[in-house]
Amino acid sequence: MTNKEEFLLKAYELGIIKFGNFTLKSGIESPFYVDLRPLVSSPALLKELSDHLLQLLKDSHYQLICGVPYAALPISAAMSLESGVPLILKRKESKKYGTKKMLEGIFSEGQTCVLVEDVITSGKSLVETVEEVEKEGLRVKDVAVVLDREQGGTRLLTEKGYAVHTLFSMGEVIDILYKHDLLKEPEVIRIRSFLKEKPVVRIRSSRVTYEEKLKFQAHPASKKILEIALKKKSNLIASLDVNTSREILDLAERVGEHVVAVKLHTDIISDFSEEYVSRLKKISQDKNFLLFEDRKFGDIGNTQQLQFEKGIYKISDWADLITSHVIAGEESLKVFGDKVGVVTIAEMSSKGALTDEHYKEKAIELSQKASNVIGCVAQSELPSSLLLFTPGVNITSGGDSKGQQFNTPDKVITEYHTDFIIVGRGIYAAARPEEAAEKYRKEGWDAYLRNIKF
């Protein structure tokens, strides 16, 4: 048995690879799951791994080692200790205050740096990391990877001119485990066919199409909104923030055909009535759009339930979608039931909002667990299993005098992979709201098409 094989068997015992059915961040169902983090619990194995990786790099020249956060950080630190080559750390996000540094540690422009990654799948995030490191003035030629899931990543990096040194490919792992009776034949066949069928071929763009997203939606509301999007070729939600029912009904008639949903703040309407609700519902059926109440619930479960079902507005009677904060925790979201599609607030568009990276991460984690949550409101990319709704969209980027910050449809769709743009004043305050809605629909849809073309 080779050293490499021995290492794999010991690491396998630690639980770095699991077989079964797993939903990956991208929403894809995978028959295996790889997580190298348990290695930190075995200093001996971590050291062995770093020796193997250094051996792979024996003919490469580099002055710095940089690990991709988080799983590869301990691995790269071990490599640095073993080789005496200094380490630099890459942040996940640049510091918002103080130095705004992307890289921590001492380095100078023009130095050569090797990047270390635990697992490579499509390679897209690795390419982004390499580019960020290069932006800081460092030169990257080599990338060391512990495991290649064989889903296009190595090819992508090689095409871009980087030398990828991988310790194991997934195929090799399967062979070794099978040889040692740790995997049975049917499992091997299942994994092999997954590897063959599911290479992430869309290596030039990782944007998931609406058709693909539709396939893995479990909630009727998320299915519906995606179906409408495809039918109308629209990713536009109009936010009708006006104060009378007459104005809302008039706007809904005018913009209805261009949008997937109309977003409302029902508590700003001065003359709310049941008749208004039934007329709005009728328009939404005729023009095929959803009713999205932007209530931003933010209380304990019991109160939220009362606010959702009772009072004058009886939101639960008519809303297809609602927004809710996650501040009160997981249980507080359950009270909305499974009929309405819940969109959680992970990140707000206004200047100085307290929804920082940490908050966003927690909000996403919680949203992924809740069966009635279909997506989040955010100003940056989400795991593609959640639909991304982005407000603060206006063709004239800038903002207002009350903290709102605007981005263009193209920016949010291209950079954040936004699924649905939310436009308020850009539409309802326009001289001809129906023309403005058609313009935003077209801008949004064209930006989406540009991003899925490859």
CB 248 within 8 A of CB 264: yes
Q: How far is the CB of 75 from ligand 5BU (least distance, A)?
A: 38
- Token duo for residue 344: 């959680």
* Residue 264 touches ligand 5BU, criterion: CB under 6 A: no
Residue 377 near ligand 5BU by CB under 6 A:
yes
Residue choice 146, 348, 376, 387 for contact with ligand 5BU (CB under 6 A): 348
- Min dist CB 248 to ligand 5BU, Å, is 13
Kindly state whether residue 34 participates in binding ligand 5BU, applying the rule CB under 6 A: no
Question: Collapsing DSSP states into helix, strand and coil, what is residue 63?
Answer: coil
Selected from 152, 256, 409, 426, the binder of ligand 5BU by CB under 6 A is: 426
> Using CB atoms, what's the residue nearest to ligand 5BU?
424
Based on the shown chain and the rule CB under 6 A, indicate whether residue 47 belongs to the binding site for ligand 5BU.
no
Q: Which stretch binds ligand 5BU (CB under 6 A): 140-148, 160-168, 248-256, 387-395?
A: 387-395
Residue 125 CB, shortest distance to ligand 5BU, in Å, is 25
Place of tokens 């706007």: 251
Q: Which one among 142, 293, 294, 419 touches ligand 5BU, defined by CB under 6 A?
A: 294
Please say whether the beta carbons of 77 and 106 come within 8 A: no
Strand partners, 236: 421
Alpha helices, H only, 310-384: 315-318, 330-334, 357-369
Q: What is the Cα–Cα distance from 260 to 226, expressed in whole angstroms?
A: 8
The answer to whether residue 409 forms part of the interface with ligand 5BU (CB under 6 A) is no
Stretch that binds ligand 5BU, among 53-61, 146-154, 245-253, 416-424 (CB under 6 A): 416-424
Helix H segments across 57-209? 72-83, 124-135, 153-159, 170-179, 185-197
How far from 352 is each of 70, 160, 377, 390, CA to CA, in Å?
27, 38, 16, 17
Active site residues: 296
Q: How many residues does the chain have?
A: 454
Binding to ligand 5BU (CB under 6 A) within 203-242 occurs at: 239, 241
Please check whether residue 116 is in contact with residue 130, taking contact to mean a CB–CB distance below 8 angstroms.
no
> Contact between 48 and ligand 5BU (CB under 6 A)?
no
Strand partners, 387: 375
Which of 57, 412 has the CB closer to ligand 5BU?
Answer: 412
* Residues making contact with ligand 5BU (CB under 6 A): 239, 241, 265, 294, 345, 348-349, 377, 391-392, 394, 404, 422-426
